[in-house]
Amino acid sequence: MRGPHNILRLIRTGATFERSGAMAVVLEAMSAPPRLRFAARLLGWPFKWLGVKGDPALPPVTRAITALGPAYIKFGQILSTRPDIVGAELAEQLKYLQDKLPPFPMEEARAMIEAELGAPVEELFSAFSEPVAAASIAQVHRAMVAETGRDVAVKVLRPGIEKAFRRDIDAFYFAARTIEFLAPFSRRLRPVDVVAHFEGVVLGELDLRLEASAASEFAVNTRNDAGFQVPEPVWPLSARAVLTLGWAEGISLADNDSLDAAGHDRVALAARVLSLFLSHALRDGLFHGDMHQGNLKVAANGDIIAYDFGIMGRIDEYTRRVYAEILYGFIKRDYRRVAEVHFEAGYVPADRNIDEFALALRAVGEPIFGMEASRVSMARLLAFLFEVTEKFGMQTRTELILLQRTMVVVEGVARSLDSHINIWQVARPVVEGYISRNLGPLAMLRDLAKTARVLGRFGPRLPRMVEDALIARATSLPPLQRSLAPRRAVLALGIAAVFALGIWLGHSVF
């Protein structure tokens, strides 16, 4: 129930951060202005006694986030990839949230597997290990399939996780509605829609059958991508709360020392992570939506292995073209074209000044070029982008939330591997390749052929549709217009013939 009772939950959040000492650490890491620091401490201190104690063995921020629950942990995972925003020390602490959370008991995992798969664990697996990784949603065990001897990873949902997520999301809805009420200018950012999007993504992650399906599709799409692996699901041993995948061994992308000791080229890995993400998003319209270091490893042969397919992003073909044109415009430093694309897509209201918007985009883009990534403050850049969007009345595009968030996470992963990476240089060949294939004359012909094929599905119905329309029309027309009806019938049949020709061309040329 999304009601005022959530006030207590939000107060508890602030109190937990205050009690654990995380409030001061976060405000310092984010370089919060003095007035904000004073307000946050003033609101948190009186309710400190309401805060959750958490594990005193953990650093303050990690302690507070793990105590508050899975939704907060998800947010902490994102911040763990952004040392440029929260600082290197805090980012390192937050990496604990990626795959080192406390596991739940083996007895509960076994009971969940037996309930879901309808057989004792000993009958299904000849070997079944203690948890090898534990995150906010589930934990993973290494096992061997009894029937085939195949080495697999078995993912099991945490007991009660759906109820815990719904409780947190309930509080997020209340916070979003409160923000909209107290700060009407925030409505253009659509905070309630953003929470609704987050809810849909997270609840989808809680059905492991959907994750198995996503892993299967992702594996098919990327089977020809050099230096990239996706473990495929074992369908007979997967269900709503249990997912079995092929085992893939590797070194975590969070462990730079081990990567260096194994002789892997971290500069090349950083570039590959970024280019793979862009390729998947633009080429396939299906991308991994949770690409933090805990879900990425490096195999002995240097391949990047992706894990955890509970959050996958999809963007339609039109949005991909818009996104590619915006990236390409920034790469070419053609801010006028970037502005035009925003207006054409309806991202910016038509009554705003396009030249002023282009000028504002130049102020965002120019500081990036010619600088090393380590010198670019993403926190300041995001703050300036927020000012630009507010000035020009842009609304939050919920269909792009996951894409934008993942781009931030992927850049953070790449930067952790190579602090000097230039994201624009890495992105350029991927974006240019997509532009040449999808925005040129050949692409236009493909679009026309596809349109003709779609319209051609109505071919068998066209004569009857034309006849019915002409009969209905002729009975209500004056004599002169009634005499023109046969000519219109001929025209309609001519259009049908054009559609048929388009279908034939589409099949023979493409």
Angle at 287 between CA 282 and CA 291, to 5 degrees: 125
Flag whether pLDDT at 446 surpasses 70.
Answer: no
Q: Strand 228-229 relative to strand 304-306: parallel, antiparallel, unpaired?
A: parallel
Report DSSP state, residue 280. I
| pLDDT score recorded for residue 55 | 80
H/E element holding 382? helix 378-391
Flag whether pLDDT at 17 surpasses 70.
Answer: yes
Tokens 């504002």 -> residue: 360
More confident residue, 485 or 337: 337
- CA 437 to chain centroid: 24
pTM of the entire structure? 0.70
Residue 128 forms beta bridges with which residues?
143
What digits encode the pLDDT tens for the residues 291-327? 888 889 999 999 999 998 988 888 888 888 888 888 8
What digits encode the pLDDT tens for the residues 327-341? 888 878 898 998 898
Short-list 72, 84, 65, 63, CA closest to 375: 84
Cα distance between residue 98 and residue 100, in whole Å: 6
More confident residue, 95 or 411: 411
H/E element holding 115? helix 106-117
Flag whether pLDDT at 141 surpasses 50.
Answer: yes
For residue 402, give both structure tokens. 């996951």
Flag whether pLDDT at 280 surpasses 90.
Answer: yes
Cα distance between residue 389 and residue 234, in whole Å: 45
More confident residue, 97 or 29: 97
How crowded is residue 421: how many other Cβ atoms within 10 Å of its Cβ?
A: 22
Task: Name the average pLDDT for the chain.
Answer: 79
Short-list 134, 408, 494, 424, CA closest to 275: 424
Helix, strand or coil for residue 138? Answer: strand
Binned at pLDDT 50, 70 and 90, residue 186 comes out as low
Strands (E), 213-316: 228-229, 242-246, 251-252, 286-288, 296-298, 304-306, 312-314
Flag whether pLDDT at 367 surpasses 60.
Answer: yes
The residues carrying an active-site annotation are 290
Cα distance between residue 428 and residue 332, in whole Å: 9
Cα distance between residue 118 and residue 112, in whole Å: 10
Residue 245 forms beta bridges with which residues?
153, 233
Flag whether pLDDT at 279 surpasses 90.
Answer: yes
Give the lowest-confidence range in 154-163, 185-194, 418-427: 185-194
What digits encode the pLDDT tens for the residues 191-234? 777 677 677 777 777 889 999 999 999 999 999 999 999 999 99
How crowded is residue 55: how many other Cβ atoms within 10 Å of its Cβ?
A: 12
Strands (E), 218-273: 228-229, 242-246, 251-252
Angle at 450 between CA 506 and CA 288, to 5 degrees: 120
State what percent of residues in the chain have pLDDT above 70.
Answer: 71
What digits encode the pLDDT tens for the residues 77-130? 766 766 656 666 787 777 777 666 788 899 999 999 999 999 999 999 999 999
